[in-house]
Amino acid sequence: MGFGRDILRGSLDLMVLSILAEGPQYGYLILQRLREASRGQVELKAGTLYPILHRLEAAGSVKSRWDDSTGRDRKWYQLTPKGQRALRHEAEAWYAYSECIQALLTPALRTL
């Protein structure tokens, strides 16, 4: 089934920031973690992920560095202090929104 495109569009930045809160990651690891956390509901393509990472980096929420210690040159991404603050703010807003949606949907689903 998968999550709807509109739901994803509004939450991808938050998902990526949340994954980076676990520690530095490179692109493939981020994609894999998204897939795992969503139980396969989020199948993001690299062509979608990298513009998100570049936008977050331009905003100062993420920083990147190249590293070849794994035997392959990879670009690693990590949260900055600004990214940590953005994550906290967005997560709190998302929880409040989620509670509102649940409060509206629960009675509606009972009547269906």
CA nearest 77: which of 67, 62, 87, 88? 62
**Range(s) of the domain holding residue 12:** 5-111
| Stretch 13-38: mean pLDDT | 95
Can you give the pTM of this predicted structure? 0.86
Q: What is the pLDDT of residues 73-91, one digit of tens each?
A: 999 999 999 999 999 999 9
Number of domains making up the chain: 1
Which CATH number fits the domain that encloses residue 77? 1.10.10.10
The pLDDT, as a whole number, for residue 18 is: 97
Q: Are β-strands 25-26 and 74-79 bridged in parallel, bridged antiparallel, or unpaired?
A: antiparallel
Give every CB contact of residue 67 below 8 A, 6+ residues apart in sequence: 73, 74, 76
Q: Which tens digits make up the pLDDT trace of 48-72?
A: 999 999 999 999 999 999 999 888 8
